[in-house]
Amino acid sequence: MIKIKILHWLLFSLLCCGNLSAQLDIPAGFQAKLAATGLSFLTPVEHHYKIAKVYKNNLQPYDFAIRQKKDKVEIRYLVLPDTGKIAGGYPHLAFSRRTINLASNEDNEVASTISIIQLSEKILTEKYRADWGAISFFKPKKSFGNTRYCKLVTLYREGLGYVYTFFLYNDVNVDFDAGYDLLEFKEWEELTE
């Protein structure tokens, strides 16, 4: 009987430690930006993410980064709370400017191709609770990311701000399923609590 209790305790301890190691230690500064912008960070459990080092980048600064080990994708986040000084009301301009600034300008037709998808009203409201959003795919400039591809997801919510999520990866066959959607705006009711 004692051996069974010890075995159960060991299994319980291993499960608890495994769950704790899956948690990400999000820096306080990034948490403050998330709160100021009314964003929820959905802690990943399935994809085994690790925090990645945030490097100073003059081309495109960012606040926080994680790395997905299985697909070898680095995900960088830039959160800009609406302070009245950013292009509020014109998110398409900020998105276009950022995409063009980060996309490679090599003289190669494939390298300079940019694809843009405008998110539907249904996806914006049901999935992200955003007022505007778009996705761009492009080859990033080497000074931003030394990968073959970048997927930029931009979301905007009036009065709250912008969130830019940069997915840097080399394998074109990466399946960006729901496990990669880690940020969403909170419901208005949650913001007033």
Query: 19-72, pLDDT tens digit by residue?
Result: 333 467 889 999 999 999 999 888 766 657 888 999 998 899 999 999 988 889
> 88 or 186: whose pLDDT is higher?
186
Q: With contact defined as beta carbons under 8 Å apart, do 160 and 37 qualify?
A: yes
At residue 109 the predicted structure's pLDDT band, cuts being 50, 70 and 90, is low
Over residues 74-83, the mean pLDDT reads 91
At residue 13 the predicted structure's pLDDT band, cuts being 50, 70 and 90, is very low
% pLDDT > 70, the chain: 77
Q: With contact defined as beta carbons under 8 Å apart, do 74 and 64 qualify?
A: no
Question: b/e map of 83-118 (b: 16 or more CB within 10 Å)?
Answer: eeeeebeebeebbbebbeebbbeeeeeeeeeeeeee
